[in-house]
Structure 1
Amino acid sequence: MWEGDSTTGDLSIFGSYLLICGETGNDASTQDVKVISEAEDSNDADCGYVYNDNVSDLSYLHPDSTSDGWPNTPSSPDHSPPPNALITLSTPSTPGVKKSPRQIPKTLPPCRICGDPASGFHYGVNSCEACKGFYRRTLKSHRPHRCRGGGENCVIKGGNPRKICGFCRYRRCLSLGMCPEAIKPGRYTHTKRTQDTLEVLQMKAKASGCAVSDEEVDSIVQQLLKMDNHVLTNTYVSEHVIAHKHTKVFEEQRLKRETFGLHNDVLADDLYNDIYRRTGIDVDNRKYLINFFATCIEKHVPGYVRFAKGVPGFSDLPVKDQITLLKHGREEFWIIGSYRGFNSEHRTFVAPNGTAWTEMDYRHRMGQEFATYEFDMADKLKALRLSPPETVVLKTLCLTASDRCALEDPGKAEALQVRLMQVYLRLVRRRQEEEQRGVVAASMGCVVNLRDMSQLSRISSYQRALFREALDTHPVLRELVTFPGDT
């Protein structure tokens, strides 16, 4: 957390959006409300984001009335948030009471061997203490087991481990990949935890006794699609319009390289900082780009919050949990709503607002590793061939992930995510049979990769001094950004 952020009470600048966008009625009027004037008109970058406070008029967000297929953008748009959009609330706190931070729970699938609750990742497989101990003892004893049933196909089921056939149990351990070389000492990795959590989430969604009906699925999807009107996304932009933009920016970049002899090398941060410190010259435009993107992200916040408040069940979560989920889910939410704009052939990106960028711009902003990861991630998402309903549900799943951050009521958030997982599974089953194969597994693999990408973004942002400087002039973004170690 940044110094000086506590002056606005428990909810701060970002938290206030929840109350403005959440139709809180008279409750908000009883709070100590003040307008944050310094946040308005503080940025003059033309990022193409337009806000219309009249919710019924959403035409400016979708390409249904413009000649080039992109959202209607006035020639001189007003980029200030609508009046009263930026406020802070001073909420009374209970004196002398300090809540200890809740630990993020470790969620594990059942033991792969016997089905009992797993205790960790042992010898390369999620397993319980009993099966881990059995495998370790077998390795040390070197005594061959004999099948109790004689058929070498005994059922391996938890409960009383003494009644389990040792021969078949050991063979199952080997078939699932248990081996001494698979021991991984150290922390429970971010990627592994995400994989386990998503597997458990799918199991709960499939095993739930109150599965969603087709009517409920349609109702939830329609609500999410309606709220998707409040965020900038290229989900609904036609392929040929995006392709035209890619070709245009690619040819412009090629012409610049041929005319001015531009190269694809990126200055190291230390060298750039040294040049900027000595001359004050933004030699490769990275300072401008970072501030430009910071402004665009900040302008995206009202629509992002409004979308979340429209997710069935999201507003029932504790306000602090809503804020935490919004902070941690931003990267995944954004990439799922914009992945169609990435082109691996030309290495260009067309943003949801119609502006086009090259991979070099991304390198200057976030570094080579993140730029490459993001383009690769977009290709993986394209391979899923998601429909608009599947897209909006998948990004809502990422937004409501309860396992990666400390929440006041994680159970309620998990119940919401299980419901959304049920909806997503039902949508996939509506595909043609040949199109269903592997989609869910590939989707969950993408979610794992998105988590890794989000973590990489936090690390990359934290390491770049220019990004940290940009936060000083973008107070809303400063509230939204999380860095490594934040919960």
Structure 2
Amino acid sequence: MADGRGTGGWLVRASALIPAGALFAGSSPTPSEGTDQDKVQQAADSNSPKQPFVPCKVCGDRASGYHYGVTSCEGCKGFFRRSIQKQIDYRCLRDGKCMVIRLNRNRCQYCRFKKCLAVGMSRDSVRYGRVPKRSKSLEDHSVSSTDSATSSQDQLALENKQLAIYDVILSISQAHHSHCAITEDKIKNIVRQPATLMSKIHIPPGQIQFSNEELEVQRLLMWQQLATLVTPAINSVVEFSKRVPNFSDLSQDDQLVLIKLGFFEIWLTRMARMIDREENVMVFEDGSCISREELAVVYSPDFVTSMFEVCNGFNMLNLNDTEIGLFTAIVLATADRQGLSDTSAVERIQDSLVEALTLQVSRNHSTEENLFAAVLMKLPELRTLGSQHNDLLRWYRLQWHRGNLPPLFAEIYDIPKNQAAETPSQS
């Protein structure tokens, strides 16, 4: 197996930072209204100095009631509603670490939105209305003026942890939307067109079928055409990887190992939505529809059958774009890839991503108790396909001198570049 180091580390060296992508897509039920909430509402609306001051959990201003599951002011209530309904994209110029208080709450919308999510505001409650309320004891604990110093510290630590998790979720969501051509919105604009990997080769007059040599040439030509279709995704995966929190802190060699050895698994996860089982085709980001039969020639019938089955199973999980982004980031941060030097650092990255996906799934799919376990079960399935894919590449690696592959594709799979050849030999 290739160790992922290769030459030409420009895979990870090149690129300027790209502005954050799409808005965080996903959170779900938290508290709504009730008797205790009405009391807080009355206290917040009252002008009487005898009424207790109930702070907004987002900015600390006077709360006007329970909005989208959280004690909050009118300003934060309206801000959160607009952010969700208009699907606004935000950016932070200070690494997502701005303090959000009443006096500066309008200064950084990214951090204000992150704080809304972290304290429990529910995206689904904006879209669908009221949601189940939190237990009275938990709300009483959060607004009680008699909390002990220890409890306050615990609450602060919990809030900081939640903020850190939501920072990961937002970062991955924006990176995925910016650097994946196969998101829910982008798929709508893909225009399908029939395509083929087959290339015409010369057949001597009177010859009825291909010789073994001609079949090998045809297979190599088809693989080259497939490589051309896959290559745009390589740059997307590289750019996405560099925006995974703490990934860039790894050594360049370790970054290359993770990107190279994880690319096929990440690519296939993204492409799962593009498998059309009815027409038996895979649709690429440029709209090219390649038949299952042609893919089976490039790889093998059994391998392509496994590909389609794994993709179909993944689609049945009904994950949204943010969840797919988090899952592919987990695939990227696999600590037992051959050739890694700092496995502990990679494990820490993956642990934070798993925690983020756990929260994201639990909030978005609160009624599907076993969904997170089902998602994680896809990891070994992909790993098996990745190993089989690497085995299939061995034959192509031996034929490197007969073809000319796109440079990125050749580097991602550690295939020597044959700069002298333009096409595989047809003699």
Q: Does 1:387 align with 2:295?
A: no
Q: Does 1:327 align with 2:260?
A: yes
**Counterpart-to-counterpart distance in 2, 1:409 and 1:434:** 38
Q: Does 1:358 align with 2:352?
A: no
**Counterpart-to-counterpart distance in 2, 1:348 and 1:326:** 27
The TM-score, its normalising length taken from structure 1, stands at 0.49
1:430 aligns to what SS in structure 2? helix
Residues 390 and 229 (structure 1 numbering): CA distance in 2 closer, same or farther, change over 3 Å? Answer: closer
1:12 aligns to what SS in structure 2? coil
Query: What residue in structure 2 maps to residue 447 of structure 1?
Result: 379
Query: What residue in structure 2 maps to residue 192 of structure 1?
Result: none
1:311-326 matches, within 5 Å, as 311-326=244-259
**Counterpart-to-counterpart distance in 2, 1:273 and 1:237:** 45
Q: Does 1:222 align with 2:154?
A: no
1:301-450 matches, within 5 Å, as 301-435=234-368, 437-450=369-382
C-alpha displacement of 1:234: 1.6
2:411 aligns to what SS in structure 1? helix
Q: In the alignment, which of 210, 213, 221 is matched to residue 274 of structure 1?
A: 213
Deviations 1:238-276 (A, max 9, x none): 77777x84xx75xx99xxxxxxxxxxxxxx9xx764235
Residues 241 and 18 (structure 1 numbering): CA distance in 2 closer, same or farther, change over 3 Å? Answer: closer
1:66-215 matches, within 5 Å, as 213-215=161-163
Tell me, yes or no, if the aligned pair for 2:177 and 2:183 is still in contact at 8 Å: no
Deviations 1:274-317 (A, max 9, x none): 2357xx7x4xxx43321122233334333322211111100111
Q: Does 1:480 align with 2:419?
A: no
Query: What residue in structure 1 maps to residue 10 of structure 2?
Result: 16
C-alpha displacement of 1:384: 0.9
Q: Does 1:459 align with 2:391?
A: yes
Deviations 1:135-159 (A, max 9, x none): xxxxxxxxxxxxxxxxxxxxxxxxx
Tell me, yes or no, if the aligned pair for 2:258 and 2:332 is still in contact at 8 Å: yes
Tell me, yes or no, if the aligned pair for 1:227 and 1:307 is still in contact at 8 Å: yes
Query: What residue in structure 2 maps to residue 234 of structure 1?
Result: 182
Tell me, yes or no, if the aligned pair for 1:212 and 1:422 is still in contact at 8 Å: no
**Counterpart-to-counterpart distance in 2, 1:323 and 1:273:** 37
RMSD: 3.5
**Counterpart-to-counterpart distance in 2, 1:19 and 1:465:** 25
Query: What residue in structure 2 maps to residue 142 of structure 1?
Result: none
Tell me, yes or no, if the aligned pair for 2:233 and 2:267 is still in contact at 8 Å: no
Residues 232 and 434 (structure 1 numbering): CA distance in 2 closer, same or farther, change over 3 Å? Answer: closer
Residues 18 and 432 (structure 1 numbering): CA distance in 2 closer, same or farther, change over 3 Å? Answer: closer
Percent identity, aligned pairs only, is 19
Structure 2 counterpart of 1:20, one-letter code: A
**Counterpart-to-counterpart distance in 1, 2:230 and 2:392:** 16
Query: Where does structure 1 lack aligned partners over 5 or more consecutive residues?
Result: 24-54, 60-208, 254-267
Structure 2 counterpart of 1:274, one-letter code: E
**Counterpart-to-counterpart distance in 2, 1:275 and 1:334:** 30
Tell me, yes or no, if the aligned pair for 2:20 and 2:175 is still in contact at 8 Å: no
C-alpha displacement of 1:225: 2.5
Query: What residue in structure 1 maps to residue 26 of structure 2?
Result: none
Q: Answer with 345-354 or 419-428: which moved more.
A: 345-354
C-alpha displacement of 1:352: 2.4
1:419 aligns to what SS in structure 2? helix
C-alpha displacement of 1:439: 1.2
1:403 aligns to what SS in structure 2? coil
C-alpha displacement of 1:380: 0.9
2:364 aligns to what SS in structure 1? coil
**Counterpart-to-counterpart distance in 2, 1:328 and 1:212:** 34
Q: Answer with 374-383 or 402-411: which moved more.
A: 402-411
**Counterpart-to-counterpart distance in 2, 1:333 and 1:224:** 14
**Counterpart-to-counterpart distance in 1, 2:340 and 2:314:** 29
**Counterpart-to-counterpart distance in 1, 2:295 and 2:315:** 20
2:367 aligns to what SS in structure 1? helix
Query: What residue in structure 1 maps to residue 117 of structure 2?
Result: none
Tell me, yes or no, if the aligned pair for 1:290 and 1:466 is still in contact at 8 Å: no
Residues 447 and 301 (structure 1 numbering): CA distance in 2 closer, same or farther, change over 3 Å? Answer: same
Deviations 1:417-440 (A, max 9, x none): 1111100111111024322x2212
**Counterpart-to-counterpart distance in 2, 1:334 and 1:358:** 18
C-alpha displacement of 1:330: 0.2
Structure 2 counterpart of 1:235, one-letter code: T
Query: What residue in structure 2 maps to residue 176 of structure 1?
Result: none
C-alpha displacement of 1:451: 0.4
**Counterpart-to-counterpart distance in 2, 1:332 and 1:470:** 27
Tell me, yes or no, if the aligned pair for 1:401 and 1:414 is still in contact at 8 Å: yes
Tell me, yes or no, if the aligned pair for 1:394 and 1:424 is still in contact at 8 Å: yes
Structure 1 counterpart of 2:385, one-letter code: M
C-alpha displacement of 1:374: 0.9
Tell me, yes or no, if the aligned pair for 1:22 and 1:315 is still in contact at 8 Å: no
C-alpha displacement of 1:58: 8.2
Tell me, yes or no, if the aligned pair for 1:231 and 1:307 is still in contact at 8 Å: yes
2:290 aligns to what SS in structure 1? strand
Tell me, yes or no, if the aligned pair for 1:400 and 1:417 is still in contact at 8 Å: yes
Tell me, yes or no, if the aligned pair for 2:265 and 2:386 is still in contact at 8 Å: yes
Tell me, yes or no, if the aligned pair for 1:295 and 1:474 is still in contact at 8 Å: yes
Tell me, yes or no, if the aligned pair for 2:11 and 2:256 is still in contact at 8 Å: no
Residues 288 and 406 (structure 1 numbering): CA distance in 2 closer, same or farther, change over 3 Å? Answer: closer
C-alpha displacement of 1:322: 0.6
C-alpha displacement of 1:408: 1.4
C-alpha displacement of 1:212: 7.5
Residues 349 and 214 (structure 1 numbering): CA distance in 2 closer, same or farther, change over 3 Å? Answer: same
C-alpha displacement of 1:389: 1.0
**Counterpart-to-counterpart distance in 2, 1:368 and 1:214:** 46
Structure 1 counterpart of 2:307, one-letter code: E
**Counterpart-to-counterpart distance in 1, 2:21 and 2:401:** 34
